[in-house]
Structure 1
């Protein structure tokens, strides 16, 4: 059972100053300088560590998932849980929710958010230059092929490309489900969604955002437009611009006081999810020969 929360839901009672800036995977870089790209095993997963003069980053082969991105001299941009379930999806970074978002529309026993998070991806190629790193990951599932193109440098750019070889049109919903690292979610403001209409899944009602969005005790809203969302974190004196305009929807999620498996409430104070998605009523119908593209980008304001 989780400990009782303070009466005011905030991160005031968190651990020692500066602890929020630490990342559970940062210690993997301390063993040796090593090559710019190298594989290690951690919690039974194969991880690709990236050392670049501009940043550090970590990918998991399972899920083709970016788990950590930290430009030099800055706080980490992404949050990741310290403990991962054996064989299950890794919570944190940027999970690829594909080829469906949420529950499968007809198969109740299939995993939430699709097979991509649970599958091993193939690293097709990697390039490095003084500006950054460029990676291409791919997963083939039955008649479907999905490719993740990554650019890391001063900015973070992810592009998901999907095609299929089925003879009939197929339905596709997807998301780049980013967990952004913050000092304290209760003190963070999200700007850029003013006037956006959507659905509040916690209230089970339609909603329209007015002004800035703050997380009081949980949030799960799917806005029916992409947006340039500013994650304003005054404690860290950081304004991170998250561009979800590469999808039909902007999703904002945080569990609030609802417990997450293997994640303490203190740990959960350190993230907010702002995602690019095409889901629900905005799911895609992909005809044979067509390609679907979903993009997510981030940079400092």
Structure 2
């Protein structure tokens, strides 16, 4: 069992400020140490890489080694303004530009119930904002405003890598009866009973709202809510290799993500906004 690579920032017994910028693997990271939780964001992508409420195991997985340039695998990448492959430009990066660019931190505040952060990326005629509230729960909200005078297309995802004890010992409930598409078999599917992902999974469900991630190895249950207007994507590579990730690391995560516009792109009129959210909390 690997320690989360970013827990290194919290080993010292000395008191830390709530917010502190550090340099790690050639990236600027914001280390958050609050009485209710510990967390780390990367300036690149406004990517939440580590989140751990006090007295609990980490909620998010992150790869131990990051590429010198390019996307960081783990945490909650913001896939925007498309996720997956671009529908027409094969040379453009998978999952869009947002996770590759530095965002601006507009605001960070600490209170009794946790920390709040506001990140922004301005790209061409789009403004995208990520609001995070972290404490005993995790709450991420993504908002895109289309500022051009012509309509546009958009797809997006909050691509969360959840840290687990062992992928062979987890089950997802709450998807029972949900219609979806299995991207491995390339056919429609309907979920019957709990979903287990050992051996690989890449399914997009027409589902919104809450589901339960049951982690038997760690004897815990996380409630995950993908919001009211998103699909729920469940992904694990199974035995397929991931560049830069060791085989034993692969067994320590499963992706359950909120996504919108993947199969039918969102159409935004001038001035229109699109929203996406992802929330999680520990079951009592």
Q: State the TM-score, normalized to the length of structure 1.
A: 0.92
Is 1:163 matched up with 2:118? no
CA RMSD, Structure 1 to Structure 2 (Å): 1.0
Which of 233, 242, 247 in structure 1 is aligned with 2:224? 242
User: Using the alignment, how far apart are the partners of 1:33 and 1:221 within structure 2?
Assistant: 44
Match of 2:77? 95
Match of 2:5? 24
Task: Indicate the SS of the match to 1:25.
Answer: helix
Match of 1:153? 135
Contact 1:151 1:157 in 2 (8 A): yes
User: Using the alignment, how far apart are the partners of 2:229 and 2:47 within structure 1?
Assistant: 18
User: Using the alignment, how far apart are the partners of 1:175 and 1:208 within structure 2?
Assistant: 22
1:280 positional shift: 2.5
Task: Indicate the SS of the match to 1:213.
Answer: coil
Task: Indicate the SS of the match to 2:72.
Answer: coil
The 3 A distance-change label for structure 1 pair 97 and 246 is farther
Contact 2:156 2:262 in 1 (8 A): no
The 3 A distance-change label for structure 1 pair 59 and 246 is farther
Q: Deviations over 1:3-50 (max 9, x none)?
A: xxxxxxxxxxxxxxxx34x21111122354321100000000000000
Q: Which consecutive residues of structure 2, in runs of 5 or more, have no partner in the other structure?
A: none
Which of 24, 32, 35 in structure 2 is aligned with 1:42? 24
Is 1:255 matched up with 2:237? yes
User: Using the alignment, how far apart are the partners of 1:247 and 1:276 within structure 2?
Assistant: 9
1:281 positional shift: 2.7
Q: State the TM-score, normalized to the length of structure 2.
A: 0.97
Which of 23, 37, 62 in structure 2 is aligned with 1:55? 37
Q: Which consecutive residues of structure 1, in runs of 5 or more, have no partner in the other structure?
A: 1-18
Moved over 6 A (4+): none
Matches within 5 A, 1:158-197: 158-197=140-179
